Structure 1
Amino acid sequence: MRTAFDFTPYRRSTVGFDRLFNMLEAGAREDEGFPPFDIAKEGEDSFRITLAVAGFRPNEIEIVAQQNQLTVTGQHADDDDKCEYLHRGIATRSFERRFQLADHIEVGAAQFEHGLLSIQLKRVVPEAAKPRKIEISGGGAANDRLEAPKGAEAA
């Protein structure tokens, strides 16, 4: 049983977290369950999403990575053979599954094998976002202002 969580008190007392709350609320609303999937952490910065897409061919599946969202859609091609099914238990309906990705998550290779679609993800933090150590220099009032980098010309 899933209960709705109200983020209103948190929205009132935080600034800049609107995107996070919207993602959490959207994820709570989206629970159609098809196709089933797993999300695995394979290393410190490596992840894998595996979707069970039995009955689909690789050319019937599209993977789109745009900004912080990964979208996987499946659209069955028209059946050319007009056979009569006595029982049809393998799902043939179209689907669209969306995954919200954290900042600096890059989508890598996708592999289709035995009815499972695996998508590799990796966290790649740019150098500008990594912590850096700032050296402290001793000195007097002359060092209180920033100096131009060596080799830079004065404008």
Structure 2
Amino acid sequence: MTSNELIFQSTDLAQRRTEFLHAARSGMARLRDKDGTSLVMLPEQQLHLLEELRKWSSVHLRLERMLRRPDFRPTVQNLGDLAWLRVFDCEDLREFAAELNEALVAADSDNSTMPLDGCLKAWRTTARQLEDPLRRSVLLDKGLDLVDAERPE
């Protein structure tokens, strides 16, 4: 019987607490309460990962639905808690949704929020830069004629 199949009883907490804690540290410990309620103990980092995957998967699905609407325009009102994305056009939002999907798959596969955190940080940083009109014009000006600077003597 693996530790995931083993179900402890509430009375086991006094007699087998070391085994229960070992199972929890190893990934998950199941406990059946006296009233039949099933409880689970797992490392906090694992819970955080599950919460982030749930939250951002929901956000991803909602954004994908919005982007499928032909009349969709990225405004503060229709983006809601994603209002920080308002500086992007629909094409950029589709790119964000694709990258978010990849980050979710990688985070789940790696059992870590790092890919997701990195994706969100990069997009938020870009959004902050685009909010400044001067930076926006420099970043988005396709006809900008840049030349190499010479090293000062």
Global fold match (TM > 0.5): no
Greater helix fraction, Structure 1 or Structure 2: 2
Q: What TM-score do the two structures reach when normalised by structure 2?
A: 0.23
Report which structure shows greater RCO (CA 8 Å, sep ≥6): 1
Greater strand fraction, Structure 1 or Structure 2: 1
Q: What TM-score do the two structures reach when normalised by structure 1?
A: 0.22
